[in-house]
Amino acid sequence: MRKNYLLRCEQVNYRGDGKVTDWIVAMLVAEGLALSAFVYYLDHKRRMCLLEKGVIKEESPEVRLERRLLSGLFLLLTGIALMISPYLARIAGLEVSPTFGLLVMGILAVCAGLAMILGYCILKRGIAYSLD
């Protein structure tokens, strides 16, 4: 019986006895998680060092709003890419079928992106009213 994958792609390794796709995805996820954790650790160390020296770096509300907007756009476009990637791969000549899990991940990313963009709009309006 064949397992269901997020993206099923027929690739045979050099020996011709198996699929390489699972290992590639697993390695990318493992490396991505480790790199993300390392970057978060370095950022935390930097902030703690600044706090120990007495340097307090306050960000303006506009900077935080811009970061929220950019994060929302990133999530929105990532979700759209997740949902249309099987169809683009099919155009490129790969035999790929979209699975339910891939579509759910795409829908969740799109919804999270829209929520962040909506939050940006609401907070931007609130800041504009408070300045008046």
For 2-57, write each residue's pLDDT tens digit: 555 555 555 544 554 446 566 766 777 788 888 889 999 999 999 899 889 988 77
77 and 37 within one domain? no
State both tokens at 100.
């339910």
2 and 50 within one domain? yes
Owning domain of residue 106: 59-132
Angstrom distance (rounded) from CA 109 to CA 114: 9
106 and 48 within one domain? no
State both tokens at 10.
């027929």
70 and 129 within one domain? yes
Residue 103's closest CA among 125, 124, 120, 80?
80
Other Cβ atoms less than 10 A from the Cβ of 38: the count is: 10
Residue 66's closest CA among 130, 127, 131?
127
72 and 28 within one domain? no
Domains: count for the chain: 2
Rg for the chain, CA atoms, rounded: 21
84 and 49 within one domain? no
66 and 1 within one domain? no
Give 48-93 pLDDT, tens digit per residue. 998 899 887 777 888 889 999 999 999 999 999 988 888 888 888 8
71 and 53 within one domain? no
Look at residues 11, 38, 57 and tell me which one is the last residue of a structural domain.
57
89 and 32 within one domain? no
Residue 21: per-residue pLDDT: 61
Alpha-helical regions (H) of the chain: 21-53, 61-91, 100-131
42 and 103 within one domain? no
99 and 37 within one domain? no
